[in-house]
Structure 1
């Protein structure tokens, strides 16, 4: 009894001290790391903004201040606008196809097929393959004498065979195919996890009401995983804006800038061409585009959710 009374008094004393602010909260423990990480990030952003006002090659001791001339040049650069167009097309096609494949694969594997674990591994394996390993394989696959054209010739579609990566009309499509192959596993995993949170009784009730597989997927499952779709759209949009590794490793952003993205554009003007100020201006534009797209997609997702609740 005495020990219990002492424990109660100690608890009350601790509560009083916490209410008075005598005991530290969790903030002091995370504050140093927060200051270092946030400070470093915002310092880099601010420094990039400062460099964007310079005509500098990255090493000269006396850079010339040019104000907003880099941004003016950027908005009149047809290669920049081409890179932005490729980024938009890349985002729209990859997001739509990956969303469709991801939710279909997740629904099929939620039905409990045999060897379901093996299928999950097969779908997710491309995600963990490094682009540096994947790039030579796809360069050979889509070459003029590569395996893809070999298959077309042996199934009677030889007229469609062409150098997919060596011509402007097909290079971007090949990059999009590679991206879909490599990242559909992420979409599948997130949709599979989201479907696991759906109450089985809801699906069972739909079955009893006569809903088939397609209607259950489109009218019940799809609306209930809307939050995952919004998150995937945000990640896909930001990822498209930062795309660099696949187009650079597979096509070097060519031919004739056909697979130039904002990421490869910034690298090309900043490193090989040594126009660091110009590349920094493009980096600031990329940052603003990423923030704008993320805010827009999140706001639209919340607005639709509010309308659904009110309805």
Structure 2
């Protein structure tokens, strides 16, 4: 009996090893692409961040001087502050609005209106961000649709060049991000609500709970994972924003809408300070990780 078990174990171990090898062979092309387009550029960026280099001539070792400049330059720190302000528009507004819209659409009868609502909400996500930025810059202009609507409803005193005003430029750009991301949040929340056990809703309704109570006690706890995913995606979108800013304001007026992505672009391609741009890029990556990792940890703790 023992003699027959040993060959079986050996055969099973050999099959497992072959299966592991086959699995790695399937994964290998993706690993090579990831190493070539993510790992290698990241390591190269870390290397460049310790040098003063214009991208063409000889480089000069400066140690941590580029990182010190990132944390002492008021312009660069201001761009980081603007990126954190955008989190309110790219994360808080879309996630909150998406939750409410998904709940309202879910309460409708399945049909044309429900399907059309989902399609219209998701439509901005399909439009390229550059195109969305150009379209909204037209609407925000002095004679654009936004000011025309304000004049039509008797609020003409509020009309202004929204993207040219130091006070309104950043919120105006942030609202474009809110418009783009709200549809994604609503559609993902709709999918998540569909997976919640309907018996929970029926039990709450039998207890005479209001719509708000049902929303707080059943819907939000059931969407914990979806909320974590969307908060992660939208925070990353806010901190790494580039397309919308570039096509609408280029960081202006002045530095009112300057964000790290635009700063890195200017430093690297306009000022030819590749080392400083690399250092700022590494700092931005660490900021993103510092914001995202706690969110993921809280989401995992909530599921235990």
Mark yes or no: TM-score above 0.5. yes
Deviations 1:37-70 (A, max 9, x none): 342222211110110111111122x111111111
Q: Partner residue of 2:64?
A: 68
Give the Cα–Cα distance (whole angstroms) in 1 for the partners of residues 205 and 91 of structure 2: 30
**Shift in Å, 1:305:** 3.6
Q: CA RMSD in A?
A: 1.8
8 Å contact 1:17–1:23 — kept in the other structure? Answer: no
Give the Cα–Cα distance (whole angstroms) in 1 for the partners of residues 227 and 19 of structure 2: 39
Matches within 5 A, 1:118-267: 118-267=116-265
**Shift in Å, 1:150:** 1.3
Give the Cα–Cα distance (whole angstroms) in 2 for the partners of residues 189 and 16 of structure 1: 50
Q: Partner residue of 2:86?
A: 90
Q: 1:135 to 1:22 in 2, by over 3 A?
A: closer
8 Å contact 2:51–2:60 — kept in the other structure? Answer: yes
Give the Cα–Cα distance (whole angstroms) in 1 for the partners of residues 144 and 170 of structure 2: 18
Give the Cα–Cα distance (whole angstroms) in 2 for the partners of residues 22 and 285 of structure 1: 41
SS in 2 for 1:82: helix
SS in 2 for 1:163: coil
| TM-score for the superposition, normalised by structure 1 | 0.89
Q: Specify which of 54, 59, 64 is matched with residue 57 of structure 1.
A: 54
Unpaired segments ≥5 residues, structure 1: 1-12, 307-311
Give the Cα–Cα distance (whole angstroms) in 1 for the partners of residues 70 and 92 of structure 2: 30
Deviations 1:212-235 (A, max 9, x none): 211111121111111111111111
Are residues 1:47 and 2:41 paired? no
**Shift in Å, 1:31:** 4.4
**Shift in Å, 1:206:** 1.1
Are residues 1:17 and 2:15 paired? no
Give the Cα–Cα distance (whole angstroms) in 1 for the partners of residues 70 and 203 of structure 2: 57
| TM-score for the superposition, normalised by structure 2 | 0.91
Give the Cα–Cα distance (whole angstroms) in 1 for the partners of residues 283 and 225 of structure 2: 28
**Shift in Å, 1:19:** 2.3
8 Å contact 2:89–2:177 — kept in the other structure? Answer: no
8 Å contact 2:89–2:175 — kept in the other structure? Answer: no
**Shift in Å, 1:75:** 0.9
